[in-house]
Structures are given as C-alpha cells and as structure tokens.
C-alpha cells in the first residue's frame, strides 16, 4: 500500500498545532496509542473519521488512488478530488497572504497616525511662535 496514513495524520496534526493530549482524548485513545497510530499504514475507519473531523480534512481522499477504491471510482471523480486538494492548498496560501496584507495595512495605519501627530505638533508650535 502506498499511503502511510499515520504519517499523513501526524504531519497534519503538527501543522495544526494541536497537542497530543487533546488529539488522543478526541479520538479516544491513550497518548502512547496515538504515537503508535502515527507509524501505521492503516487506521480503523472510526478513528479515520474522528481524525478527519478534528482536522477538518477528508483523510479518505488519500486512498482514492489506491486499490480497491481506484477501480471503484471513475477518472473524473479522482480528478475532482485531486482538484479539491489543490484548491485547499491554494486557499491556505491565500489565507497566509491575506494575513500578511492585513499586517501591512495595520502598519500603514500606525505610520499615518504618527505622521498626523507630527503635523499636528508642528501646527501647534507654529501658532506659539506667532
């Protein structure tokens, strides 16, 4: 089997920043069992559903290119699922870019505020010297 789902789950959990204790409680296993799952090629369906919900990601999609699912689905379905994965990745990148742009806007607002305060101070000083 080409998919090592445990490694995929582990990477997604690391990226999410979730703590092992929280994840283990959510999927109803001990932390040591959770670390064992990270090394597995297969995971029980009920656990895979819980991981999918926790990560808000359909982990079953990783199996679409594996038999017997591969022969059960048409090429169009696989193409659509792969497109969904691509779009999710693109959405994540856009979200990061949006955050960066929001940070730039906030910085620009601070610069404008400082500039306005500076102009105001100069105006007050100019009135005093008259």
Asked if 15 and 54 count as a contact pair (C-beta separation under 8 A), the reply is no
Asked if 42 and 1 count as a contact pair (C-beta separation under 8 A), the reply is yes
CATH level 3 topology of 1-64: 434 Repressor (Amino-terminal Domain) (1.10.260)
* Res. 64: pLDDT tops 80: no
Q: Which of 58-67, 69-78, 112-121 is predicted with the least confidence, judged by mean pLDDT?
A: 69-78
Quote the pTM value.
Answer: 0.54
What does the pLDDT read at residue 124? 79
Instruction: Dump pLDDT digits (tens) for 86-111.
Output: 999 999 999 999 999 999 999 999 99
What does the pLDDT read at residue 1? 54
What does the pLDDT read at residue 3? 74
Segments making up each domain of the chain, as ranges? 1-64
Give the distance from CA 39 to its chain's centroid: 22
Q: What is the CA radius of gyration of the chain?
A: 25
CB atoms within 10 A of CB 96: 10
Instruction: Dump pLDDT digits (tens) for 21-59.
Output: 999 999 999 999 999 999 998 899 999 999 999 999 999
Asked if 13 and 23 count as a contact pair (C-beta separation under 8 A), the reply is yes
What does the pLDDT read at residue 121? 85
Q: For residue 74, name the pLDDT band (cuts at 50, 70, 90).
A: low
What does the pLDDT read at residue 63? 77
């Amino acid at each position: 089997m080409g998919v090592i789902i445990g490694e995929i789950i582990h990477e997604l959990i690391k990226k999410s920043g979730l703590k092992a204790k929280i994840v283990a409680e959510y999927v109803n296993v001990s932390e040591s069992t959770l670390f064992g799952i990270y090394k597995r090629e297969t995971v029980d369906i009920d656990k895979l559903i819980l991981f999918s919900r926790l990560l808000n990601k359909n982990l079953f999609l990783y199996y679409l290119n594996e038999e017997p699912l591969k022969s059960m689905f048409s090429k169009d379905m696989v193409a659509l699922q792969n497109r969904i994965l691509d779009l999710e990745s693109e959405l994540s990148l856009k979200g990061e870019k949006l955050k960066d742009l929001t940070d730039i806007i906030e910085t620009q607002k601070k610069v404008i505020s400082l500039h306005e305060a500076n102009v105001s101070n100069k105006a007050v000083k100019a009135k005093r010297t008259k």
